[in-house]
Structure 1
Amino acid sequence: MSNIAPTNPNQGSLAGSFYMVLACLCFALMLVFIKLSGQKFGMHTYEITFWRVFFALIVLGGFSWLKGRDFRTAYPKEHFWRSFAGSVALLMNFYVVLHLPLATASTLQNTSAIFLGLLSIIILKQKPTLVSWVSLILGFIGVVILLKPSAEGDAFAMMLGLLSGAISGYAYLQVLELSLLGEPAWRIVFYFSLLSTLIAGALALFFNFTPITPEILPYIIGIGLTALGGQLLMTYAYQVGQKFVVATLSYLGVVFAILFGAVIFGERLDYLSLLGIGVIVASGILSGKK
């Protein structure tokens, strides 16, 4: 019997699926903490974003320093544009979470997979397969369906959510390019957290921070812990799990968002909205099929 581990990227531990389910639960809980922070304490987008990335910056930076990792990079410009795009997308996404149902906000963020595919064709000149074209077309049909029933709602938040997905797709493209240049994942996340903390912190100072009280503190900690836990669990899921299965399970975040939105906030989506969400999720799953 051979002791050599399998190298096929489609082979992996079932534990990867479990980790992804937990990651989705963490990210959905993060959305809950964000929405509650806005509703209960009037916290605005900038300070919520600041606490989310500041927590990650301290934990990741401190751990990397203790491990003796090298923070220097030969690609500062590439890191800046990736981090700037990610920061703008995050600010937009958190605004959307505060102004739209959780399921709608989560789905619009997941359109990043659609835009990543489109940008890969335009910028990287990748030759799309038939599956890629079907996925892109399905995705944009889903977006049109999802936007239409919300015409009487917060149209600005809907469009901002879609723009957030597009910018996130560009940021993920930059992550891919940095990875190909040999930059480790921890350094990419560290510089993103650093620039996001500076941008969100400056904006929060301008618009004034909400005073930290014992009542607010659990929500701030909850945002930071669930965001960091979700990121770590998702990373580990992709490392040890079967790639397509893990990517498919990542859309459980939308399901959790629907459930939490209904139970905690009393949110109800009509059938047309649910159809749009379903089509977008199907598009994302299809885009992960190689």
Structure 2
Amino acid sequence: MSNHQKGILCIILSSLSFALMNLFVRLSGDLPSLQKSFFRNLIAMIFAFFILLKEKPNVSLDKDSKRFLLYRSIFGTIGIISNFYAVDHLVLSDASLLNKMSPFFAVLFAILILKERINLFQFSSIIAAFIGALFVIKPTGINMDFYPALIGLIGGICAGAAYTYVRAMGQRGVQGAFIVFFFSAFSCLVTLPLLLFHFHPMSFQQTATLLLAGLAATGGQFGITAAYCYAPAREISVFDYSQIPFSALLGFFVFGQVPDGFSWLGYIIICSTAVAMFFYANGHLHKEKESLAK
């Protein structure tokens, strides 16, 4: 297999892992979103800690990196809690899709934070993604799923901001394992006080299910990290949207959930936009290579 093919395989496995994470979160039952996010981050923190012990990286952060690390952790924590709330109250595929709005918001935050430029095609893609999200949210004012869908969209926005700060730190050479560890530890510390005061007793089955959710989330994080080591994001990021059909299939077979026609239309718009962005990026890269060759 070429590195490109390995990258595609890893990102698809990562998407399957995140879809399984959402499934296990839903199966854990009627527990507060804070409690679910704590266990999810606890497992990721433990894995990242052992990786740091093994690799023993030299962590040296400048002032900007420290600030970016804090912002990444804040937005990431809000994003996870919002996503888990959406998973508990929406069709599984709807919740997954709203969380997958994050790449489009990452473009917007890259403009604001990293001062990157955006062209007309990228701007049009963001508008198309918003239109697709509206078909999923269906903001009629009388739809009982409107508020959970809105919270799910907020989760996608926060995730986009978090990924932007991850990119900013990556440009400064901050190790990925350290970013994961700090973020997971931050989330655990933030949610722990509220968890202690509002802890809901869990059965053995609920505890096991949340641990499985944490393991699936950890697998997703390591999978997507490996994917981007094998190939650049512009070549493989579109395959991250495979989580949507994975979630739809899991939701159908486990919960009997069937998305409505408007949701399917939203899926088609957003996934088509992602595919268009993928081919546009590849075409732009090919032109750059031809220009350098001349």
Return the TM-score normalized by structure 2: 0.87
How many pairs align?
276
Corresponding residue for 1:7? none
Counterpart check, 1:30 vs 2:21: yes
Q: Which residue of 2 aligns with 1:169?
A: 160
Match of 2:51 in 1: 63
Between 1:60-69 and 1:102-111, the stretch displaced more is 60-69
1:111 to 86, 101, 116: 101
RMSD in angstroms over aligned alpha carbons?
2.0
Asked if structure 1 preserves the Cα contact closer than 8 Å seen for 2:138 and 2:146, the reply is no
The answer for the alignment partner of 1:4 in structure 2 is none
Equivalent position to 2:215, from 225, 228, 232: 225
Aligned to 2:134: 144
Q: Which has the higher helix share?
A: 2
Do 1:142 and 1:279's aligned partners in 2 also have CA atoms closer than 8 Å? yes
SS in 2 for 1:43: coil
Give the gaps of 5 or more residues in structure 1. 1-10
- Per the alignment, residue 288 of structure 2 pairs with none
* C-alpha deviation, 1:78, in angstroms: 2.3
Length-normalised TM-score, structure 1: 0.88
Write the distance in 2 (CA, Å) between the matches of 1:65 and 1:73. 18
Separation (CA, whole Å) in 1 of partners of 2:256 and 2:139: 18
- Does residue 53 of structure 1 match 2:44? no
User: How do 1:63-212 residues align onto structure 2 when only pairs under 5 Å count?
Assistant: 63-71=51-59, 73-74=61-62, 75-148=65-138, 152-211=143-202
Q: Deviations over 1:202-253 (max 9, x none)?
A: 2211211424x43233212211111111111111122114644521211110
Structure 2 residue 230 is the aligned partner of structure 1 residue 240: yes
C-alpha distance in structure 2 between counterparts of 1:133 and 1:287, whole Å = 11
Aligned counterparts of 1:168 and 1:261: Cα–Cα separation in 2: 23
Q: State how far apart, in whole Å, the 2-side matches of 1:274 and 1:87 are.
A: 29
Partner of 2:5: 14
Query: 5+ unaligned residues in a row in structure 2: which ranges?
Result: 282-294
Letter in 2 for 1:22: L
- 1:154-192 deviation digits (Å, cap 9, x = unpaired): 211111111111111111111111112221111111111
